[in-house]
Amino acid sequence: FTAEDFCLQVVFYIEKILKTYRVPIIFRGSNSYIEKLVEHPMFMFKYKYEKYFFWIDGGKSVFNRRVDMRVDQWSTQWMRCDRFSFQMHFTPKESDGPSMKETNIDREDETKQMIIRASISSIKCNTRMLICNQLDKIQRLINKKMW
């Protein structure tokens, strides 16, 4: 789903909702997608619609706890698989997680368990960096674009 796809869908649904005399609310979405929607001249969003932006900032400690909880839940479910393998590469999106393929790994092997724990820790760290980057983008939108 590209940023342009997102923008086209949003504009379509905003118009549909406005025809029913209701107030459309765009909830969530990538900062990059929202920025494209507002700034791109093709969509005329900034000129056609009254807009308000709300960001909820729970603070770093709240985000870190939430990341730990989500990754722990994901990894617990993932570890229930009978056959699994870690390939040590990650994409910028934490939701993609590590890639998996069917390979037996002896769950009792201490070295492999250390690798798994380190990988889970790495996912948490990468996700925290992603959150910091998102918060930086939000600050840029607030400070430079005056949103």
Task: Calculate helix-pair angle for 110-143, 60-79, nearest 10 degrees.
Answer: 140
pLDDT of amino acid 141 = 86
Q: Single out the residue of 76, 65, 78 nearest to residue 124, CA to CA.
A: 65
Q: Is the pLDDT of residue 125 over 70?
A: yes
pLDDT of amino acid 51 = 83
Mean of the pLDDT values across residues 33-48?
Answer: 90
Least confident of 28-32, 118-122, 139-143: 28-32
Q: Is the pLDDT of residue 18 over 50?
A: yes
User: What does the alpha-carbon distance between residue 62 and residue 120 come to, in Å, rounded to a whole number?
Assistant: 19
Q: Is the pLDDT of residue 26 over 90?
A: no
